[in-house]
């Protein structure tokens, strides 16, 4: 693992922060949680974890000034779950404007007889080569918990299916997002976090 890596975790009231910090600790990675752009600027990598509701999370990022700082960040960035959804232009969850980095609108699952939220293990199928998924088997299982999904677009690196195909990994420039929780996804999840730090 890169000894010089210093991960900044952008904390919101909706963040699943402790699990992410613990996973990084298992990889020997130092992480600092902060809502202060001056602190996050010192990081070599940024992670935005999230569980909860889009509007509440965006309002927290706006109040702290982190949202505007993130839009201009040039270091590798990883959004997890809600953190990925906030990369998009808009979420239908309380009609929330996102960071606008990735094109498209996040929508609620309409899956007929399938339960919402989509909760549990599901496969992730690569659709484009990506260093983020290096060393991870095609159709590997990851752990999901979400009621809203992102569309499959040109910025999609991998997709999953739950009544409808949705983007489970996205990238635009230095911004990456994963719909699942790598910190709760065992060996494959740790490999993805390792790839983000070492390869992205």
From residue 56, alpha-carbon distances to 61, 97, 111 in Å are: 9, 11, 25
Q: Which residue among the candidates 45, 118, 181, 200 is catalytic per the annotation?
A: 181
Q: Which residue among the candidates 53, 93, 155, 183 is catalytic per the annotation?
A: 183
Whether 118 is a known active-site residue: answer: no
Other Cβ atoms less than 10 A from the Cβ of 190: the count is 16
Whether 181 is a known active-site residue: answer: yes
Q: How far apart are CA 160 and CA 124, in angstroms?
A: 5
Q: Which residue among the candidates 81, 118, 146, 155 is catalytic per the annotation?
A: 81
Other Cβ atoms less than 10 A from the Cβ of 7: the count is 24
Residue partners of 34: CB distance under 8 A and separation at least 6: 8, 9, 10, 11, 40
Point out the residues that are catalytic.
Answer: 81, 181, 183
């Amino acid at each position: 693992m890169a000894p010089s890596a210093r991960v900044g975790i952008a904390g919101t009231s909706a963040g699943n922060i402790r699990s992410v910090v613990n996973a990084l600790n298992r990889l020997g990675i130092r992480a600092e949680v902060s809502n202060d752009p001056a602190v996050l600027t010192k990081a070599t990598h940024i992670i935005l974890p999230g569980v909860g509701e889009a509007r509440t999370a965006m309002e927290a990022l706006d109040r702290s000034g982190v949202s505007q700082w993130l839009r201009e960040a040039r270091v590798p960035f990883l959004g997890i779950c809600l953190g990925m959804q906030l990369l998009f232009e808009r979420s239908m969850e309380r009609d929330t404007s996102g960071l606008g980095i990735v094109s498209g609108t996040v929508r609620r699952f309409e899956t007929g007889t399938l339960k919402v939220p989509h909760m549990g293990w599901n496969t992730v199928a690569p659709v484009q080569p990506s260093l983020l998924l290096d060393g991870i088997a095609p159709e590997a299982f990851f752990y999901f918990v979400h009621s809203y999904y992102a569309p499959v677009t040109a910025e999609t690196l991998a997709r999953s299916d739950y009544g409808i195909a949705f983007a489970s990994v996205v990238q635009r420039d230095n911004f990456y997002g994963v719909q699942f929780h790598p910190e709760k996804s065992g060996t494959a999840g740790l490999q993805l976090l390792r790839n983000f730090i070492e390869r992205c």
